[in-house]
């Protein structure tokens, strides 16, 4: 039998691994800053690119796509070559993938703080970056699939199944969720509106967690855990059941993020049913991982790599039990919009993704430098301080979540909300936010220990960039099933057929849920009184999106007595038909704003946006002082925005578009005039106008400043529902 010699490419693995560590530190530092800003909301007062609303998506994108994403690629490139006994198909494609992915991360790091965002959870990047993501992702997929085709190992191992499912599903999710019409180079509107946009977004959002943060890590678990334990996977049959049931069921579960919302009831119920069913395959994977360690528990006590893997897999089990439980309507009614959800997400992120990555790093670095880890004692210290950090981060947020639920829904004997002022529920959980910041600090200290250990280990070793290997050439056999060959064994040697079947499995759920919602009009009853936004309100809505207000404020009143009493009539699907994108939100750090329109005066909103504590003592909302100085930058683009909206189905007429600027001017002047009901404002404004004229400086009328557009949008919210007529 011919034995062939070849070289594994460790250079690409090292690049992705170092990038993961670097961006992990950056992303978690930003996360810690955000945690501190809950305690000191005006920490970055007056600096727009350091405001909470703009930094939050930077944090999530940096941790998910930069830290975790680069770790996935490092693990895939290392394991795939060895599982296929072949170098990656193309070094050029590998490097295009690496540098292209880092360029995307850099683009996100620049655009998000500058306020260029779609506002869609985990998909905030604007359309040119979305296109770049698709191109680089396909580059990765081609390189991976061609490597599998050129393999020297007959059967594709279980880890590769999960890699293929990840590639196919993320491509489908990203493309369909990112369909948008550009307004200009860094501004677009989603092609979906309201309820449809919400369903597509959470079909994407839930399955981004499933197929970017879960399935690739399951593949890495199936490779690195047996290697580290020097034991075979516990059950091959269980891995088959785990894989196919997981990828089929996961894709249906997205609607459980939208329970009690304006989403059609049948779609909500489908999400609940399939979410509950997910417990079985998820725990099947966890059990398969943990039982792989049977007989080596003594080794686990002393080996930091295995310790990280055990806690990581346990975190996966906890998160994938909690997720289906949260999809039950009675549990969801307690947890949704509270800090319980933040705790749930971070169990998965910090334990499952973080600890699996740390374990993989500690296993890989010594092997790629032909040396021992610099200090197992320090690695064990990292494990314990990281574990303590997870506990101190999550437990206070669980307590905060339950506290929020109980206070939001508490009525006194007279039938009045006991905590009618939302701020009472905020101040009650401030100690929990302090504990969260402490827990996050501990976790970050652990990461810095890892950075030090990697540095010292690499310095002591000798990097092996092209690792010599040899294997027999793969002998081709009949493509048809052999006598006595199990169907799955046959499928494992037919990667193209395997990929096609995987694609079919993940498409079924999406088609069944999304197609009826988009194309069957009866699913979204219209309301005749709901009209498109005026040009100034549309501009204000874009500012609301730019500043990330949706990260703290929901626009979805659920049909609960407590919410109707607190916020007003519950939300209807027809109210959102002109919303591109939807802004229902997923967390209430502040109150829901669905019915805030006309609840307060224009000058109240003016003062609230400038200094929230002046109108709401104890508020942890930061001020948005730049809105008061900035001229409405898109004043000249309003016609283009309205034209794009009309293309998407919003009934703007030619006359509406032609008169847009005049409409903005008139509505803006009226709001600016309303500001003058406050004598202090009037005196200050007139004084600044006089000073500008005396100094020969340009003076921007208040009617043309961004704050006026923001107030116009806020005052519109929820007002269309009055005297509604359902058709």
What CATH number does the domain containing 628 carry? Answer: 1.10.760.10
Percentage above 70 pLDDT, the chain: 98
Whole-angstrom CA distances from 530 to 280, 282, 573, 577, 585 are 44, 43, 11, 8, 21
Amino acid 724: pLDDT: 44
Indicate whether 427 belongs to any domain: yes
Query: Across the chain, how many H-helices and E-strands are there?
Result: 30, 4
pLDDT tens digits, 42-94: 999 999 999 999 999 999 999 999 999 999 999 999 999 999 999 999 999 99
**Strand partners for 4:** 471
Q: Identify the band that residue 475 occupies on the pLDDT scale cut at 50, 70 and 90.
A: confident
- Please compute the mean of the pLDDT values over residues 198-203 and round it to a whole number: 96
- Clarify whether residues 494 and 598 are in a common domain: no
- Please compute the mean of the pLDDT values over residues 186-215 and round it to a whole number: 95
Query: For the ranges 53-67, 312-326, 462-476, 653-667, which has the lowest average pLDDT?
Result: 462-476
Indicate whether 526 belongs to any domain: no
- Is residue 708 within 8 A of residue 671, CB to CB? The reply is yes
564 Cβ neighbours under 8 A, 6+ residues apart: 557, 570
pLDDT tens digits, 329-386: 999 999 999 999 999 999 999 999 999 999 999 999 999 999 999 999 999 999 999 9
How many structural domains comprise the chain? 2
Indicate whether 260 belongs to any domain: yes
Q: Identify the band that residue 1 occupies on the pLDDT scale cut at 50, 70 and 90.
A: low
- Clarify whether residues 595 and 680 are in a common domain: yes
597 has a pLDDT exceeding 90: yes
| Highest-confidence segment of 252-256, 263-267, 397-401, 527-531 | 397-401
Q: Which two tokens mark 49?
A: 């690119």
- Is residue 581 within 8 A of residue 189, CB to CB? The reply is yes
Does 155 carry a binding-site annotation?
Answer: no
- Is residue 339 within 8 A of residue 432, CB to CB? The reply is yes
Indicate whether 310 belongs to any domain: yes
Does 257 carry a binding-site annotation?
Answer: yes
Please state the three-class secondary structure of 32-85 as a single string. Answer: HHHHHHHHCCCCCCCCHHHCHHHHHHHHHHHHHHHHHHHHHHHHHHHHHHHHHC
- Clarify whether residues 465 and 546 are in a common domain: no
Q: Identify the band that residue 36 occupies on the pLDDT scale cut at 50, 70 and 90.
A: very high
- What is the distance between the alpha carbons of residues 365 and 379, in angstroms, rounded to a whole number? 13
- Clarify whether residues 438 and 554 are in a common domain: no
Count of CB atoms situated within 10 Å of the CB of 647: 12
Domain CATH code at residue 85? 1.20.210.10
Count of CB atoms situated within 10 Å of the CB of 284: 18
- Clarify whether residues 193 and 334 are in a common domain: yes
pLDDT tens digits, 411-426: 999 999 999 999 999 9
**Count of positions (residues) in the chain:** 727
What 3-state class would DSSP assign to 7?
Answer: strand
Dihedral angle, C-alpha 145, 107, 348, 397, nearest 10 °: -170
Does 336 carry a binding-site annotation?
Answer: no
Indicate whether 23 belongs to any domain: yes
- Please compute the mean of the pLDDT values over residues 286-315 and round it to a whole number: 95
pLDDT tens digits, 119-161: 999 999 999 999 999 999 999 999 999 999 999 999 999 999 9
Indicate whether 725 belongs to any domain: no
306 has a pLDDT exceeding 90: yes
- What is the distance between the alpha carbons of residues 593 and 575, in angstroms, rounded to a whole number? 14
524 has a pLDDT exceeding 90: no
725 has a pLDDT exceeding 50: no
What range defines the domain where residue 539 resides?
Answer: 535-716
- Please compute the mean of the pLDDT values over residues 10-34 and round it to a whole number: 98
- Clarify whether residues 504 and 580 are in a common domain: no
What 3-state class would DSSP assign to 529?
Answer: coil
Instruction: Please state whether the peptide bond connecting residue 581 to the residue before it is cis, i.e. omega within 30 degrees of 0.
Output: yes
Closest CA to 383 of 301, 308, 303, 442: 308
698 has a pLDDT exceeding 90: no
Indicate whether 523 belongs to any domain: no
Count of CB atoms situated within 10 Å of the CB of 148: 22
- Is residue 356 within 8 A of residue 312, CB to CB? The reply is yes
- Is residue 275 within 8 A of residue 307, CB to CB? The reply is no
514 has a pLDDT exceeding 80: yes
- Clarify whether residues 501 and 551 are in a common domain: no
Closest CA to 8 of 524, 344, 660, 471: 471
Instruction: Return the higher-pLDDT residue of 480 and 94.
Output: 94
Indicate whether 524 belongs to any domain: no
- Clarify whether residues 250 and 293 are in a common domain: yes
- Clarify whether residues 122 and 206 are in a common domain: yes
Does 405 carry a binding-site annotation?
Answer: no
Does 605 carry a binding-site annotation?
Answer: no
Amino acid 634: pLDDT: 63
Sign, CA torsion 216/217/222/224: positive
Report the first-to-last Cα separation within the chain, whole angstroms: 75
Tokens 């946009």 belong to residue? 197
Whole-angstrom CA distances from 420 to 16, 411, 413, 599, 611 are 51, 9, 14, 15, 22
- Clarify whether residues 581 and 693 are in a common domain: yes
Count of CB atoms situated within 10 Å of the CB of 691: 11
- Clarify whether residues 500 and 458 are in a common domain: yes
Percentage above 90 pLDDT, the chain: 88
Closest CA to 562 of 338, 270, 268: 338
Q: Which two tokens mark 643?
A: 């034209």
Does 580 carry a binding-site annotation?
Answer: no
Mean pLDDT for all residues in the chain: 94
- Clarify whether residues 253 and 393 are in a common domain: yes
């Amino acid at each position: 039998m011919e034995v062939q010699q070849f070289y594994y490419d460790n250079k690409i693995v090292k690049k992705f691994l170092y990038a993961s560590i670097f961006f992990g530190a950056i992303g978690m530092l930003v996360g810690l800053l955000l945690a501190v800003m809950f305690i000191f909301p005006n920490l970055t007062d007056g600096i727009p690119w350091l405001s909470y609303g703009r930094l939050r998506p930077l944090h999530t994108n940096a941790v998910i796509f930069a830290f975790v994403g680069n770790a996935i690629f490092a693990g895939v490139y290392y394991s795939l070559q060895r599982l296929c006994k072949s170098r990656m198909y193309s070094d050029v494609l590998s490097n295009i993938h690496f540098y292209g992915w880092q360029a995307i991360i850099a683009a996100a790091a620049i655009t998000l703080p500058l306020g260029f965002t779609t506002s869609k959870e985990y998909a905030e990047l604007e359309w040119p970056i979305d296109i770049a993501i698709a191109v680089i992702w396909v580059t990765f997929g081609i390189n991976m699939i061609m490597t599998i085709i050129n393999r020297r190992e007959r059967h594709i191992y279980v880890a590769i199944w999960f890699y293929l499912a990840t590639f196919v599903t993320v491509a489908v999710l990203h493309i369909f969720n990112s369909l948008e019409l550009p307004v200009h180079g860094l501004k677009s509107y989603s092609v979906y509106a309201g309820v449809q946009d919400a369903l597509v977004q959470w079909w994407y959002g839930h399955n981004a967690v499933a197929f970017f943060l879960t399935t690739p890590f399951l593949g890495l678990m199936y490779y690195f855990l047996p290697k580290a334990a020097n034991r075979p996977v516990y059950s091959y049959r269980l891995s088959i059941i785990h894989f196919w049931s997981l990828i089929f069921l996961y894709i249906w579960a997205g609607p459980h993020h939208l329970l009690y919302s304006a989403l059609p009831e049948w779609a909500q119920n489908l999400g609940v049913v399939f979410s509950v069913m997910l417990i079985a395959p998820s725990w099947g994977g966890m059990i398969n991982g943990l039982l792989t360690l049977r007989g080596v528990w003594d080794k686990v006590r002393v080996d930091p790599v295995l310790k990280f893997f055990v806690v990581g897999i346990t975190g996966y089990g906890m998160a994938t039990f909690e997720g289906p439980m949260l999809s039950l309507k009675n549990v969801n009614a307690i947890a949704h919009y509270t800090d319980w959800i933040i705790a749930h997400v971070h169990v998965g992120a910090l334990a499952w993704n973080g600890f699996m990555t740390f374990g993989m790093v500690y296993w890989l670095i010594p092997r790629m430098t032909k040396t021992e880890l610099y200090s197992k004692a320090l690695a064990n210290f990292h494990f314990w301080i990281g574990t303590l950090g997870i506990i101190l981060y999550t437990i206070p947020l669980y307590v905060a979540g339950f506290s929020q639920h109980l206070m939001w829904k508490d009525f006194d004997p007279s039938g009045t909300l006991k905590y009618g002022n939302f701020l009472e529920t905020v101040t009650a959980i401030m100690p929990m936010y302090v504990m969260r910041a402490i827990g996050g600090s501990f976790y970050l200290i652990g990461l810095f220990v890892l950075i030090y250990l990697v540095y010292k280990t690499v310095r002591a070793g000798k990097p092996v960039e092209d690792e010599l290997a040899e294997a027999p050439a793969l002998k081709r056999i009949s493509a048809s099933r052999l006598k006595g060959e199990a169907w799955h064994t046959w499928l494992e040697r037919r990667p193209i057929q395997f990929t096609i079947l995987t694609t079919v499995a993940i498409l079924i759920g999406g088609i069944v849920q999304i197609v009826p919602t988009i194309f069957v009009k009866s699913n979204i009853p219209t309301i005749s009184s709901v009209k498109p936004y005026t040009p100034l309100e549309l501009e204000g809505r874009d500012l609301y999106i730019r500043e990330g207000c949706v990260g703290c404020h929901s626009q979805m009143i659920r049909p609960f007595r407590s919410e109707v009493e607190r916020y007003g009539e519950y939300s209807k699907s027809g109210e959102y038909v002109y919303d591109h994108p939807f802004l229902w939100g997923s967390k209430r750090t502040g109150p829901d704003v669905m019915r805030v329109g006309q609840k307060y005066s224009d000058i109240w909103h003016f003062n609230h946006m400038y200094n929230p504590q002046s109108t709401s003592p104890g508020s942890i909302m930061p001020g948005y002082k730049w809105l008061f100085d900035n001229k409405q930058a898109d004043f000249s683009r309003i016609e283009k925005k309205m034209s794009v909206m009309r293309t998407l189905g919003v009934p703007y007429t030619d006359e509406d578009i032609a008169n847009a600027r005049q409409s903005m001017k008139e509505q803006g002047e009226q709001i600016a005039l309303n500001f003058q009901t406050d004598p202090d404002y009037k005196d200050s404004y007139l004084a600044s106008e006089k000073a500008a004229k005396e100094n020969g400086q340009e003076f921007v009328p208040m009617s043309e400043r961004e704050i006026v557009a923001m107030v116009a949008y806020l005052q519109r919210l929820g007002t269309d529902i009055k005297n509604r007529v359902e058709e």
